[in-house]
Structure 1
Amino acid sequence: MLINDKIYGEFNISEPVLVELIRSDEIRRLRKINQVGLLDKHCDHPNFKRYNHSIGVMLLLKRLDASLEEQIAGLLHDVSHTAFSHLYDWVVGSNADEDFQDNNHDGFLRKSSLPQILSNHCFDISDINGLEKFTLLESPAPAVCADRIDYSLREFQSWANPGAVQTCLNSLVNHDGNIVFDSFRPAYIFAMTYMKLQTEHWASASQVLKFYLFADALKTAINNGVITHEDFMVDDEHVMKKIYSADDKGTNDALAIIKRDMRFEEVNEGGILLPEKKFRYVDPQFLRNEIYRLSEVDKDYKRLIESERINNSRELRVRLI
């Protein structure tokens, strides 16, 4: 199977288990789930699919000489995402940690066709499912890992810092099962651009407002019997098709508020009190004869982390204009 990825280039996937998994209904479903969680027409920046990210994580792990088991885990790590990705956390009330998918990953896997596919190739789902043992794939924040690196590089390329993609990618090193940068400069570039994604996209006032309003529209659709929570286990298109077909006034009115270029102003009282968005940042390690963490060497970056952490926790009220 030949894959041509916009970040990693051309790869020939020769492992039968990976080929069969990529062709499975569970992985193919991710083609219809947006990574960011909003409809394309509402996004401030270019969107991409969970499928692209899942394939990308697998390819990055392959570049880093990860085991086949870890490559499989990387391919499957997001397979349990609901429609609209982390926006569903805002529907069910887990937006502070955005962990609905993580908490339901094991159950989803075991009820799917994936255990049988793995068994056909002499793998056991239990050997794949414990993501904590795959440290190239997943490491606790603020470390970098294949998951964080891939979705970041896709946004670097599409808007945030296109020129940094290959600089950062080509400096990644598998150091005793952990991802580090081979020098200070790419580690710094990656960390600063990641912070740009946080402040100008993921936790920007515009993005948080749109998440809040879209989640409210989806909750209205649920309360009015237009959709059910089970519908979110299909994909974005399925949910929106049911909403558009129902033509429910309450849901339509809630959706009509959301625009790509929303006009709003911050206010001290009244308006909409926006929920606090998850604070995301990285503090990557890099090589300089020995291993250093970026904030140990760059005190300005350490201060920036704390400044943005405080800014992210600030109460934010807005009024639509």
Structure 2
Amino acid sequence: MRNYYAQYDWDTMLKQHAPVKYDISEYFEILCPKSDYPDFLDCYIKLPVMQRLAGVGLLCGTDWTPLYRNRFFYSRLDHSKGVALIVWHFTHDKAQTIAGLLHDISTPVFSHVSDFRKGDMLTQTATEEPTAQIIRGDAELDRLLAEDDLTPAQVEDYHIYPIADNEIPQLSADRLEYMFPSGMALDGSWTMDEIRRCYNDLIILKNEDGQDELGFQHVEIAELYCEHFCMIGHILQLNENKLALHLLGQIMNLAEKEGVLSEEDFMTLSEKEVMERLDSVVESPRRGCTETTLLPRLYKTFRTMTSIEHTEEPMDEKEYFCINLKVKQRYINPLVNGHRLSEVSEKAHRIIEDFKTYSDTPYGCVKLV
């Protein structure tokens, strides 16, 4: 039987839904109605260490290349707020909610591209390493925590709270949140009515290990969510996505090596400011960076590419940038009334198994400018 995802190539995925204008305030209202909004969050959101995330995109640098058709920019600050609202909605626990808000505080520009830079494509957790250090080192944040009778130890590792985070293929607030806006922005596949329908069907259940986990009450709604989630996950495992993130990672590495940007810049500048810095290098080469060096070619390619080639073998490295990578597979097999969806739904079982076994061509290549 043909793999379910074989029919969904890059153009099909990004063109199948008509452009839609999304209202993110309406989306946040679904996650947590205004009548239940946790006002204590606002002081944390206003901290400079959090506001930095307003310039970091959720979608890993893909807002900056025409290979994608992203419908809007959704920041890591937006994502962090969304996770916090979900955690609060289901737990009304202040420590867990703030841990959810702070979980991406150490994310550099272009998000998981930095994991690609460090060779961590399969787990994509390398960017989390400085989280506790940043939380413990910020005086204003420490003051707010003390006022709320909380310690850094209670909020520096959201992994200890299973509603906030858990392992794939389980459902958590983090996983739930990032796939809603990813689908809205990447391919326009979520409608607000679908988000509302899925979200309002969720309750806290006990999983196989006796831990709390978000799950669904109705099989048909769990199927709808699973299909959407895996479809968006499919975009993230195609060669186009692998190539875009790895190419941008190599650009960051070269820019740091040539003194155009520093590691500190990746943690202090916005993505827009980093792109402006790279633009200036291409327009007016400096510091030994000339038109014949690799950095300008890679950067121009990233900023202008609209398609890639899918091949069985690598192409001429002098003329092409090629990838052959395995990456983290983002899929979900949620609980529904105490059972994994794949156990009670033939449709979901096939969707999940085909997702896990799908394989793009060995190589993805793009011709260098």
TM-score of the alignment, normalized to the shorter chain, above 0.5: yes
- Structure 2 counterpart SS, 1:27: helix
Provide the rounded CA distance (Å) in 2 between the counterparts of 1:257 and 1:279: 26
Letter of the 1:57 partner, please give it. Answer: V
Structure-2 residue corresponding to 1:20: 43
2:187 corresponds to 1:164: no
Structure-1 residue corresponding to 2:225: 190
Structure-2 residue corresponding to 1:62: 88
- Structure 1 counterpart SS, 2:228: helix
2:293 corresponds to 1:268: no
2:261 corresponds to 1:227: yes
Residues 69-125 of structure 1, C-alpha deviations (whole Å, 9 max, x = no match)? 111111111111111100111122222221112233222222223223212332101
2:70 corresponds to 1:45: yes
Shift of residue 144 of structure 1?
Answer: 0.5
2:182 corresponds to 1:132: no
- Aligned-residue sequence identity (percent) comes to 20
Structure-1 residue corresponding to 2:149: 122
- Structure 2 counterpart SS, 1:258: helix
- Structure 1 counterpart SS, 2:197: helix
Q: Is the 8 A contact 2:55 2:272 kept in 1?
A: yes
Q: Which moved more, 1:257-266 or 1:21-30?
A: 257-266
* Pairing of 1:97-108 with structure 2 (within 5 A): 97-108=123-134
Residues 258-277 of structure 1, C-alpha deviations (whole Å, 9 max, x = no match)? 25662322222222233222
Provide the rounded CA distance (Å) in 2 between the counterparts of 1:274 and 1:19: 43
Mark the CA change 1:320 to 1:18 in structure 2 (over 3 Å): closer, same or farther.
Answer: same
2:362 to 305, 311, 315: 315
Mark the CA change 1:259 to 1:242 in structure 2 (over 3 Å): closer, same or farther.
Answer: closer
Shift of residue 198 of structure 1?
Answer: 1.2
- Structure 2 counterpart SS, 1:48: coil
Provide the rounded CA distance (Å) in 2 between the counterparts of 1:203 and 1:27: 29
- Structure 2 counterpart SS, 1:180: strand
Q: Which moved more, 1:69-78 or 1:233-242?
A: 233-242
What number of residue pairs does the alignment pair up? 314
Shift of residue 300 of structure 1?
Answer: 4.2
Mark the CA change 1:83 to 1:302 in structure 2 (over 3 Å): closer, same or farther.
Answer: same
2:242 corresponds to 1:214: no
Shift of residue 57 of structure 1?
Answer: 1.1
Q: Is the 8 A contact 2:314 2:363 kept in 1?
A: no
Q: Which moved more, 1:46-55 or 1:243-252?
A: 243-252
Shift of residue 188 of structure 1?
Answer: 0.9
Mark the CA change 1:270 to 1:139 in structure 2 (over 3 Å): closer, same or farther.
Answer: closer
2:95 corresponds to 1:72: no
Provide the rounded CA distance (Å) in 2 between the counterparts of 1:155 and 1:215: 20
Provide the rounded CA distance (Å) in 2 between the counterparts of 1:14 and 1:259: 40
Letter of the 2:349 partner, please give it. Answer: K
* Pairing of 1:245-264 with structure 2 (within 5 A): 245-246=280-281, 247-248=284-285, 249=290, 250=293, 251-259=295-303, 262-264=306-308
Q: Is the 8 A contact 2:236 2:242 kept in 1?
A: yes
Runs of 4+ in 1 over 6 A off after TM superposition: none
Q: Is the 8 A contact 2:244 2:302 kept in 1?
A: yes
- Structure 2 counterpart SS, 1:279: coil
Letter of the 1:22 partner, please give it. Answer: I
Mark the CA change 1:44 to 1:97 in structure 2 (over 3 Å): closer, same or farther.
Answer: farther
Shift of residue 14 of structure 1?
Answer: 6.8
Structure-2 residue corresponding to 1:240: 275
Taking CA–CA contacts closer than 8 Å with sequence separation of 6 or more, which of the two structures ends up with the larger relative contact order?
A: 2
- Where structure 1 has 5 or more consecutive residues not aligned to the other structure, the ranges are none
Provide the rounded CA distance (Å) in 1 between the counterparts of 2:134 and 2:109: 14
Mark the CA change 1:264 to 1:156 in structure 2 (over 3 Å): closer, same or farther.
Answer: closer
Provide the rounded CA distance (Å) in 2 between the counterparts of 1:56 and 1:319: 35
TM-score, normalising length: structure 1: 0.89
Mark the CA change 1:172 to 1:32 in structure 2 (over 3 Å): closer, same or farther.
Answer: same
Shift of residue 51 of structure 1?
Answer: 0.9
Mark the CA change 1:74 to 1:319 in structure 2 (over 3 Å): closer, same or farther.
Answer: closer
Provide the rounded CA distance (Å) in 1 between the counterparts of 2:353 and 2:40: 44
